[in-house]
Amino acid sequence: MSDLRVQPGPAPERVRLTVPGDKSISHRALILGALAEGTTTICGLLQGEDVLHTAEALRRMGVEIVIESGGEGPMVTVTGVGRQGLHSPGCPLYLGNSGTGMRLLMGVIAGQDFTATLTGDESLERRPMGRVAEPLMQMGAFVECRGPQATPPVTVHGGGLRGIHYQSPVASAQVKSAILLAGINAAGETVVAEPARSRDHTERMLQAGGAQVEVEGLTVRLQGEPTLRGQEITVPGDFSSAAFFLVAGCLLPGTAVMVDNVLLNPTRTGLLEALRHMGADLKLTDVTHSAGEPVGTITATRAPLRAAEVGGKLIPAMIDEVPLLALAATQAQGETVIREAAELRVKESDRLTTTATALSALGGEVEATEDGLVITGPTPLHAAEIDSHTDHRIAMMAAIAALLAAGETVIHGAEYIATSFPGFGERLRELGAEVT
């Protein structure tokens, strides 16, 4: 296990940076490129471990994927095999720490005429897969998981699928996307309805690739057995990665932080709305569109923050950023309540508990509830030793908190940061921190 040591230093008045490509879009670009006819080119693919595990799994099922270095980031070429052109890998597919990779590939394999087993590291093999397995079995696949919590390894016996109308009990892009990816090879129409809006990258990319997809409110309809075509995809900067430095800009005195080329898909930017409700100074500029996705520059500058209540439909649009909102709330005046975020208990860690534990160790007043967090502020933060609990987002949130804490903060299990944000330490140094 490796440590990340962070000690704050004088930050410059203005910091302008970029972040790696969006993880959600990177996974989907590889998968849909593999199922397409012809060639898909991807510029700016995230080179994090999670995405690279997805690429290797697709290679083992017969897809040619070439990754080359380029002046503006990696250039990836995916030679598609068609929607039913994958072949049995002949061995278990290892997905490391990637819950997204595993759940999306469960949907892909469900539509193929073979059986495959998916495994992961110790952390991933504690995460429940039943929410994906259940609708896939309703479509005609047979899915075997381990134990009453339906944890990996997962074996999917694919083929012979039929479209279903599925009312998802949770707003989850991973569940929805797995069903839609299976629906590509299902007879008839596949329909997914959610209780709230979740990120919609799969729908956008399917439409761009030639599939007949209709979105009406919280319901998505996919006509089965389309012929997908290769695409040219430019992956914008990951909003979830940018969020760490935007929160730093909101909290560090005398420093404006600008992050360029950030994904601004409204199903992802709930944190901006929540922070603005708390009084944060956040500005959007240079907004354009790339491959059907809005992108732009976000500038964050410190302003007095006030407590807020956050829940409901806003949570799915900021589910990965809740730990960061909790950090911001430690510096806000009053009691902030985050509710209806129980989904965080089945992430890489139980993120409600690990967020509360980490921020409390750093001096915050944070309590985990059954479905959220209660944070009382403002409180000064101090250096501490933090366990990431194998969770990349907890490790990075603690590193941003360390910028506000006197002394050296030590974060154990920092190697998990590489799953989503290679180069994170270098970006911290741009904010004046001493990082080892």
- pLDDT, residue 147, reads 83
> Which segments of the chain have a pLDDT < 50?
none
- pLDDT, residue 72, reads 63
How does DSSP classify residue 170?
Answer: S
Cα–chain center distance at 200: 12
**Structure confidence by residue, pLDDT tens digits, 60-91:** 999 999 998 766 667 999 999 999 999 999 99
- pLDDT, residue 149, reads 86
**Structure confidence by residue, pLDDT tens digits, 387-403:** 999 999 999 999 999 99
- pLDDT, residue 1, reads 78
What is the fold of 3-18+237-435?
A: UDP-n-acetylglucosamine1-carboxyvinyl-transferase; Chain (3.65.10)
Task: Verify whether residue 320 is a known catalytic residue.
Answer: yes
- pLDDT, residue 71, reads 61
Q: Give the whole-angstrom CA distance, residue 16 versus residue 259.
A: 6
Q: Give the whole-angstrom CA distance, residue 47 versus residue 423.
A: 10
- pLDDT, residue 294, reads 94
SS3 152: strand
22, 50, 238, 320: the active-site residue: 320
Task: Indicate left, alpha or beta for 20 from its phi (over 0: left) and psi (-120 to 50: alpha).
Answer: beta
Superfamily, domain 23-234: Enolpyruvate transferase domain (3.65.10.10)
pTM of the model as a whole: 0.93
Domain with CATH 3.65.10.10 in the chain: 3-18+237-435, 23-234
